[in-house]
Every structure is written in C-alpha cells, then in structure tokens.
Amino acid sequence: MHYILCDRLDRTVLPHLENVSAYLPVALGLLHGRHIRRLRTSLSYYYADDGRCSRKTFRSVRVLSLRSATLSPETQRVFLARIENLEVLDIETMHPVDSSIVPYGTKLKFLRISSNVFITRDVIDQLFDDIPTLECIEWAMEYKMYTSSPGKPFYYGTRKYRDVPGYQNVQWMCPLDEEWLGNWKEDVRPVTVTGRGTLVKFWNHPQYI
C-alpha cells in the first residue's frame, strides 16, 4: 500500500524535497517532478529494470548512496548509467571492485566503497584513468580500539586523492551512515590510527593492497 500511495504522490506535495532515503520503488515515486539531489536506496534485480528508472527520472540526482551488496556488477552498471549527472557515489558491494564499477562517461568526483573484497592498486589507477573527473576514492573502515575506550568501534575512511602520493585516513564528523548527507571535502577531519586493536571490518585498506 505504501508503494501505491507514493507512486501517486502529486508533485505539489513536498515540492522542495531534496534528500530521500527509501527503497527504490518508493524513491521513484518521490523523484518524479521534484529536484531530488541526494538519494539513498537499495537495489533489487526487479526494480533495476523498472521502466521508471530513466535518465530523466534521475536527472537532478548528484549524490547516490547505493546498497546493492548481492547484485551483479553488470546490474549495478546498467542502473548507474541512468544517473548521468552523478557526482558522488557511496556504494556497498560484495563483488570484486574493478574499474568497470562506474559507467564510462560519468561526471563522478568522489567514490566511496564498502566492500569485503580486495582491491588492487591497478584498479585504483584505472579508476582515475577512466574517470577524468574523479578526484578521490575512499574505503570505509571499522576498527575496534583497545587503548582509550576498550571495545569501542572506531570508524574511519582511507582515501586516495588523484595525483597525491600516499593515503590519508579521515573521520567523518557527521553521524554514522549519514555520510551521504555530508560534504565529502568539508565534513571530514584527518585521523591517525594508532595503538593496538582489532580490525572488525576491513574494506580494501592500503595496508592489504
């Protein structure tokens, strides 16, 4: 019932809505006729082929947080190719990450990846080569420290900037899982990861590539 109501939601309702976090069928109903700039959604095989997933539908979207952990890379690429003005992509996937994760010709500036599959330096270099607009790639991290706060999770991202040697660890200043609402350049601070701890989840940390 929620899907039906949302699909018929008139564009005069919430006309100034800019941020949407919803399952794709709900989000599609909200995107129509509104200037949605930030979208957080999950993707299924069925809705990846939904006829409403057109370039026109996603024309205003600049930031996408996509949860599609079990989808094939090809399904992801087909979907992402429809968001032609995308500048920021935060993606969670269980598949190997390679340069084809982002469609050719994208305007992407920032790519944030959460994956439990290794990535190589060659892939990093290829992503920068294939996407001329790409400025930065970030890997999401979760580290459990035992120094100051025993057992307390410590979340940070490891970044590689174009044409900048080495890597940089940063911590977002917004609440966890709200990174898609923040500014990837301004809403982070550099951090130094020191002390003894356990890497709870590691996603392509430079230490391992």
The 10s digit of each residue's pLDDT in 24-59 is 888 888 888 889 999 999 877 556 566 677 888 899
Dist CA 43 CA 70 (whole Å): 9
CA-closest candidate to residue 151, choices 189, 115, 116, 196:
196
Task: Name the residue type at position 39.
Answer: L
Q: What is the pLDDT of residues 148-200, one digit of tens each?
A: 455 555 677 889 999 999 888 888 888 888 899 999 999 999 987 665 443 33
Residue-level pLDDT at 208? 37
User: Regarding beta strands 197-201 and 136-145, do their DSSP bridges make them parallel or antiparallel, or are they unpaired?
Assistant: antiparallel
- pLDDT-derived band at 68 (thresholds 50, 70, 90) equals confident
More confident residue, 143 or 51: 51
Residue 75's SS3 state is: helix
Dist CA 113 CA 157 (whole Å): 10
Asked if 68 contacts 43 with a C-beta cutoff of 8 angstroms, the reply is yes
